[in-house]
Each structure stands twice: as C-alpha cells, then as structure tokens.
Amino acid sequence: MDSQDWDNRYAGPDLVWGAGPNRFVVEQIGGRPPGRAIDLATGEGRNAIWLASQGWQVTGVDFSAVGLARAEKLATDRGVTVDWVTADLREYQPPPGGFDLVLLAYLQLPEPVLKPVLGRAAAALAPGGTLLFIGHDVDNLTRGVGGPQDPDMLHSAEQVAAALGGLEITTAGQRTRPVPGPDGDRTAIDTLVLATRPA
C-alpha cells in the first residue's frame, strides 16, 4: 500500500487502530526513564502519544498526511506534544545517534525494503539506547489471525535481528495476542525484537 492508500484508510470516521498504545510497547517500555524517542511508521500516533504522556520527547514519522493530522488532533486532545514528520521510511534518514528509543510497530515491508530501513533505525540509536520492533510474524499466516496475507510482507525474529548490525539483541521471538471476533477471541502471532546499542 502506498501513502494514498493509507490516507484513504485513515480518512474514515473512526481510529483504525484505536487510541490506546500497543500492549507490547507498554510491556517493554513502560517504566523506563524517558528520553528522546522516535516512532517510525507512527500511523495515527497512538504509541507516540503514549510515550509523550510518559515524559518522552517524541518524534512520530509516517508517510500518511491524513494519519498524522489525526495523530496531531489526538495529541492535542490528550495535552501532549509530539513532533510529527511526514516522510516515507523507504527514504527517510533519522538523525544518527539521535534517540534513546527507536520504535517500529507493524511496519510490514518486503525484506529487501525493510532491511535498509532497519539499518537506518539502528543507526539512529544513541549509546545505551533501545530499539523495539513489533510486527506480524510469518507464522501468523498459517497459525494466527489478521495482518497481511502476503508472506513477503511478514517477518521472523531472526530476519529482523540479523538486520540490526551493531546492536545487542536482548529479546527476539514470537509473542501472541488475543484478537476479538464474533465467535470469541482468536490468537495473532507477532514478531518482537528488543535490542540495545552498547553504551
């Protein structure tokens, strides 16, 4: 999907992903001392806004102007400030060494496209900084629910970790989460990778 596709998706009356932060972002980042954070592929900004509410100085980047306009309104309603940047992550270069936290949540790109994005994301970490990647896992296609149905757009923890040169991988594996449906909850399978730049 290109930026126009996402603009169209975000133009509906309701938030696509809801207003609350992703459960794994809260689980992995909650309680950490705040610093400078960048949320790459921020969408409607739910994770960036939550980070700002926790005291982080946050930059949110996405190529959907409609999604970012919705994010800005939500941030204003919540009384927090985020620096919103309209940019395509396939080309965007975050400031090297500029952030204590780099977040990539559900950025589903083919591996040849994702790999350089991950390299630039890793380079954006300051010494001692943390990178958190969450995405739909390749096993979700056959054993889970939701997410892209194209295997080229799905990830594995090993694939993501291998693209994070220069970082220490502290967590790399699958996580499950319930997805409500008309017949009860089903289970989605995600990739989660947590990495740090040595101090």
Q: Which residues contact 182 (CB under 8 A, 6 or more apart)?
A: none
CA–CA–CA angle 115, 67, 148 (5° rounding): 50
Output the pLDDT for position 181: 80
Q: What is the pLDDT of residues 106-132, one digit of tens each?
A: 999 999 999 999 999 999 999 999 999
Q: What is the pLDDT of residues 66-91, one digit of tens each?
A: 999 999 999 999 999 999 999 999 99
Q: Please state the domain extents for the chain.
A: 25-196
Number of alpha helices (DSSP H) and beta strands (DSSP E) in the chain: 7, 7
Yes or no: domain 25-196 corresponds to CATH 3.40.50.720: no
Alpha-carbon torsion, ordered 53, 58, 59, 65, to 10 deg:
10
Output the pLDDT for position 8: 61
- pTM assigned to the model: 0.92
Q: CB-based burial of residue 14 (10 Å sphere; 0-12 exposed, 13-18 middle, 19+ buried)?
A: exposed
